[in-house]
Amino acid sequence: GAGVSQSPSNKVTEKGKDVELRCDPISGHTALYWYRQSLGQGLEFLIYFQGNSAPDKSGLPSDRFSAERTGGSVSTLTIQRTQQEDSAVYLCASSLEQGAGQPQHFGDGTRLSIL
Amino acid sequence: GNSVTQMEGPVTLSEEAFLTINCTYTATGYPSLFWYVQYPGEGLQLLLKATKADDKGSNKGFEATYRKETTSFHLEKGSVQVSDSAVYFCALGSNTGKLIFGQGTTLQVKP
């Protein structure tokens, strides 16, 4: 049943550690998006992929954040040297194609807590 | 830049009441507009969309009309149910598909 799958669903880690968040999009979806949902900032765009390329990384908050996508499928969002302000729910979405009218299908998110 | 503004919540209604959640946008070009819903404990789901001016999106009794002249995309439902209690997000889709969200409006429907 192949919706967007994200793992882990919850992650608690200490400040300063690195974390990796994984997203498995719907099979055949070429576009993949990462967003962050936090109490103070609402839902914010981070980065998107068309295939394995990331034409827009403008939402990444700092150079501690990076993401990659391989094989036009799975994507990993990495946060290095985590800070408390990184605590949020990280959402991944995919769509069949890139474009303004394309509906995005969201995963359930990874809830990241930095102690 | 592009932005979306939603009415502040929470909105509390009795069952069978009429619902309006206001959404206005600022954008260059001709964006697509969406309403997403997040039910308690669940992920974001697309509720409806409209891709050009005067289009009406509808789903599950909800409707919204893309009004270019007032830059609005207000969500309406004639008779809400307890099961409609959720957080509703208005969003604007840019050419790349990137979504810009409003701050979300919490709806609570009481029996």
Report whether pLDDT(A31) > 80.
yes
Q: Does A104 touch chain B (CB under 8 A)?
A: yes
Percent composition of chain A: helix, strand, coil (DSSP 3-state, to 5): 5, 50, 45
For range A11-32, the mean pLDDT: 96
Cβ count near B18 (within 10 Å):
10
Q: Which of B38, B85, B52, B50 shows the shortest CA–CA distance to A43?
A: B38
d(CA B99, CA B90): 10
Q: Do B97 and A108 touch (CB under 8 A)?
A: no
Say if residue A25 is preceded by a cis peptide, omega within 30 of 0: no
Sign of CA dihedral B71, A96, B56, A107: negative
The amino acid at B88: Y
Indicate the SS3 state at residue B84. helix
Joined tokens for residue B76: 């309406």
d(CA B71, CA B54): 11
Largest CA distance in chain A: 40
- To the nearest whole Å, the CA of B38 is away from the closest chain A CA by 10
Q: Do A100 and B94 touch (CB under 8 A)?
A: yes
Joined tokens for residue B70: 């007032």
Q: Do A108 and B42 touch (CB under 8 A)?
A: yes
Q: Which of B105, B99, B109 shows the shortest CA–CA distance to B49?
A: B99
> Residue B46: which of A35, A91, A103 has the nearest Cβ?
A103
Q: Do A56 and B98 touch (CB under 8 A)?
A: yes
Interval A68-105: pLDDT, tens: 999 989 999 999 999 999 999 999 999 998 887 888 99
pLDDT of residue A72: 87
pLDDT of residue B41: 87
Chain B positions in Cβ-Cβ contact with residue A56 (cut-off 8 Å): 96, 98
pLDDT of residue A1: 55
pLDDT of residue B95: 81
Positions in chain B whose pLDDT score sits under 70: none
> Best mutation site among B4, B44, B59, B88 for testing chain A: the one with the most A CBs within 10 Å?
B44
Q: Do B103 and A109 touch (CB under 8 A)?
A: no
The amino acid at B67: R
